[in-house]
Amino acid sequence: MSQICQITGKKAIVGNHVSHSNKKTKRKFHPNLFTKKFFNEKDGNWVTLKVSAAGIRTIDKMGLEGALKHAKEKGFIINC
């Protein structure tokens, strides 16, 4: 998984560059991704995830266990 958030499933979307002359060319909008380590208190080990800024806020709200469970149900994360 290269440019995909493992918690929220956000990935690059396609749009247009619009110049001053209103000429349009294709571009990509990439998500704001970070490679971050989280401590799993249940297992007592560290988990490394590639998450977006919104994914970090989701982990803060739901907790690591809840966010991982939700991501597995949605299919964003396969093994962890």
Domain residue ranges in the chain = 13-74
Chain segment 12-67, per-residue pLDDT in tens: 999 999 999 999 999 999 999 999 999 999 999 999 999 999 999 999 999 999 99
Question: How many CB atoms lie under 10 A from the CB of residue 1?
Answer: 10
What's the confidence (pLDDT) of residue 78?
Answer: 76
CATH code for residues 13-74: 2.30.170.40
What's the confidence (pLDDT) of residue 80?
Answer: 57
- Is the pLDDT confidence value at 79 over 90? no
CA-wise closest residue to 8 among 59, 63, 65, 79 = 59
Strand boundaries in the chain, DSSP class E: 13-18, 24-29, 33-40, 45-52
Gap between the Cα atoms of 76 and 68, Å rounded: 9
- Is the pLDDT confidence value at 70 over 70? yes
User: Please, are residues 35 and 50 in contact by the beta-carbon 8 Å criterion?
Assistant: yes
- Is the pLDDT confidence value at 1 over 60? no
